[in-house]
């Protein structure tokens, strides 16, 4: 593994190569500095829904240009667009997609994060979105090796109950939560439990999984499991 001083500049050089060379193979970019700002902001907003108008103001671009740039970056596999799951019955699910930065190492380099960034004494909250994106990318690699046709989404109801990642296998749904903590309690399953018992997943077979930063694997029963992120 490269040391930090070599790794971070190499990641930033990669972004420069994308802007100056790879993007041009797809479409002409008239404002490369604006595109760099969009990439930086996507790294800062990994695992979030994106407000195009806000992103346009920050990058000093027109909203339609921001949308074009996002489309180009998705085609280059830099961010991943995670659609919102809908039950096909209820209209309550909010349908805005979430965007995940595909490479958490590059995202950290763009945000100038080091291992000290995630210490308890510093800014451990910064880990949340990056950890969620890391888990998503590992799950995407896993589902591609499965025989069944699994598709990944995120879930959010109109009353703001969120499911970080929802794996749809047809009659089977797997609801995934990611917790940047070394401990898990039954309350961490509250949205997963609502989704499967009273929410739009009640007509399906639902399994709930919480990934966390501890080391043990255990269960709370009723198809609710706790797994360490390292299990991926």
* Residue-wise pLDDT tens digits, 62-81: 999 999 999 989 998 999 99
The residues with which 210 forms a beta bridge, in sequence order, are 177, 226
Full-model pTM: 0.88
Token output for 66: 């921001």
Q: Please give the Cα distance from 136 to 78 (Å, whole number).
A: 14
Q: What average pLDDT does range 1-23 have in this prediction?
A: 79
Q: Does any domain span residue 46?
A: yes
| CATH number of domain containing 200 | 3.40.1350
Residues in the chain: 232
pLDDT 10s digits, 114-158: 877 777 666 666 688 999 999 999 999 998 888 888 999 999 887
- In three-state secondary structure terms, 203 is coil
Q: Does any domain span residue 94?
A: no
Q: Please give the Cα distance from 126 to 182 (Å, whole number).
A: 16
- SS3 of the chain: helix, strand, coil, percent, to 5: 45, 20, 35
b/e per residue 57-70 (b: at least 16 CB within 10 A): ebbebeeebbebbb
pLDDT 10s digits, 67-117: 999 998 999 899 999 999 987 755 546 678 999 999 998 999 998 888 777
Q: Are residues 111 and 206 in the same domain?
A: yes
Angle at 37 between CA 32 and CA 43, to 5 degrees: 130
Q: Does any domain span residue 86?
A: no
Q: Please give the Cα distance from 104 to 132 (Å, whole number).
A: 10
Q: Does any domain span residue 155?
A: yes
Q: Are residues 120 and 225 in the same domain?
A: yes
Domain of residue 161, residue span: 104-231
Q: Are residues 131 and 223 in the same domain?
A: yes
Domain boundary residue among 37, 62, 77? Answer: 77
Q: Are residues 67 and 109 in the same domain?
A: no
If one counts the domains in the chain, the total is 2
pLDDT given for residue 3 in this prediction: 66
């Amino acid at each position: 593994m490269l040391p930090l001083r070599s790794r971070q500049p190499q990641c930033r050089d990669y972004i420069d190569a994308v802007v100056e060379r790879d993007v041009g193979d797809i479409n002409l970019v008239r404002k490369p500095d604006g595109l760099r700002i969009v990439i930086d902001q996507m790294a800062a907003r990994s695992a979030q829904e994106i407000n195009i108008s806000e992103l346009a103001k920050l990058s000093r671009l027109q909203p339609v240009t921001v949308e074009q740039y996002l489309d180009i970056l998705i085609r280059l596999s830099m961010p991943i667009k995670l659609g919102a799951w809908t039950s096909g019955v209820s209209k309550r699910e909010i349908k805005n997609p979430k965007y995940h930065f595909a490479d958490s190492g590059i995202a950290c380099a763009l945000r100038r994060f080091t291992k000290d960034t995630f210490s308890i004494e510093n800014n451990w909250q910064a880990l949340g979105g990056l950890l969620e994106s890391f888990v998503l990318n590992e799950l995407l690699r896993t589902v591609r090796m499965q025989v069944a046709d699994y598709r990944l989404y995120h879930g959010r109801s109109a009353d703001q109950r969120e499911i970080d990642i929802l794996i749809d296998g047809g009659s089977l749904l797997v609801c995934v939560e990611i917790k940047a903590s070394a401990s898990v309690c039954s309350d961490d399953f509250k949205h997963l439990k609502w989704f499967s018992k009273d929410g739009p997943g009640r007509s399906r077979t639902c399994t709930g999984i919480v990934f966390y930063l501890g080391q043990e694997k255990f269960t709370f029963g009723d198809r609710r499991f706790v797994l360490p992120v390292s299990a991926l």
